[in-house]
């Protein structure tokens, strides 16, 4: 693998850099402590909990998950705003009163040699776009709205020797398609202990993508 195993690029969302760095470190520390378990092979709720934990472990940041709110959507014909009760996946505050609200999706990507990574990458970006669409329904007064995609790549254990090059190819595609505002990831050196014994799939790490809703 030629890309670094720990990486954060906040792009224009510079205020969240310390949180994303902490998110990266929590994933690493979780794996180093348990070795045969990791947050990224569970589900969306588990992934959100790690980002919330990153906020709480960063000085001057606070977070709350899965809270009730009101969501709105403009009617196509009339242009009027239709509101309904809903939930927001995550909100993060700073001590200086900056606010960020997140709607998240979980994405999975097989890296096996027979998989078309270009198509898989498009699927991942579709998940990010859906998260952005959900974030657009949040009220602007709640804070800066962020579509969020947690990505868990996986590969058959028998193809472990191809893991590094395939990860490089996937990350290269994600970076160069430029559909995100911020990206962070963590990958382990040797994922042998992170194997699903039933599927024989290895889960080497996780990627976080953020896209801000402007309108």
Strands 201-202 and 81-94: unpaired
Which pLDDT score, from 0 to 100, does residue 76 have?
A: 53
pTM reported for the whole predicted model: 0.93
Contact (Cβ atoms closer than 8 angstroms) between residue 39 and residue 27: yes
What is the three-class DSSP state of 126? Answer: helix
79 conformational bin, left if phi > 0, alpha if psi -120 to 50, beta if neither: left
Q: What residues pair up with 43 in beta bridges, in sequence order?
A: none
Strands 99-110 and 144-156: parallel
Which pLDDT score, from 0 to 100, does residue 59 have?
A: 97
Q: What is the mean pLDDT of each run of 10 residues along the chain (215 residues)?
A: 96 97 97 94 96 98 93 62 82 95 97 93 96 94 96 96 96 94 97 94 98 91
Which pLDDT score, from 0 to 100, does residue 86 have?
A: 83
Contact (Cβ atoms closer than 8 angstroms) between residue 197 and residue 175: no
Which pLDDT score, from 0 to 100, does residue 11 have?
A: 95
Which pLDDT score, from 0 to 100, does residue 106 have?
A: 97
Strands 81-94 and 182-187: unpaired
Which of 153, 189, 157 is closest to 6 using CA atoms?
189
Model pLDDT for residues 54-65, shown as the tens digit of each residue: 999 999 999 999
CA distance linking residue 182 with residue 150, whole number of Å: 12
Cα 197 from chain centre: 25
Which pLDDT score, from 0 to 100, does residue 64 have?
A: 97
Which pLDDT score, from 0 to 100, does residue 172 have?
A: 95
Which pLDDT score, from 0 to 100, does residue 79 have?
A: 56
Buried (b) or exposed (e) across 27-37, using 16+ Cβ within 10 A?
bbebbeeeeee
Which pLDDT score, from 0 to 100, does residue 74 have?
A: 58
Which pLDDT score, from 0 to 100, does residue 77 have?
A: 63
CA distance linking residue 201 with residue 121, whole number of Å: 19
């Amino acid at each position: 693998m030629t890309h670094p195993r720990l990486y954060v690029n906040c792009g224009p969302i510079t205020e969240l850099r310390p949180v994303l760095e902490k998110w990266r470190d929590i994933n690493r520390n979780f794996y180093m402590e348990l070795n045969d378990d990791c947050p990224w092979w569970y589900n969306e709720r588990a992934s959100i909990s790690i980002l919330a934990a990153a906020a709480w472990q960063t000085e001057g940041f606070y977070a709350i998950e899965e809270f009730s709110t009101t969501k709105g959507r403009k009617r196509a014909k009339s242009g009027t705003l239709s509101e309904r009760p809903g939930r927001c996946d995550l909100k993060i505050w700073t001590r200086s009163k900056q606010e960020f609200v997140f709607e998240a999706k979980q994405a999975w990507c097989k890296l096996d040699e027979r998989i078309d990574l270009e198509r898989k990458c498009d699927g991942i970006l579709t998940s990010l776009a859906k998260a952005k669409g959900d974030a657009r329904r949040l009220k602007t007064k709640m804070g800066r709205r962020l579509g969020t995609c947690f990505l868990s790549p996986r590969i058959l254990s028998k193809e472990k020797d191809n893991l590094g090059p395939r990860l490089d190819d996937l990350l290269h595609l994600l970076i160069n398609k430029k559909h995100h505002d911020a990206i962070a990831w963590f990958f382990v050196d040797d994922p042998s202990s992170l194997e699903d014994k039933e599927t024989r799939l290895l889960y080497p790490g996780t990627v976080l993508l953020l896209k801000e809703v402007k309108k």
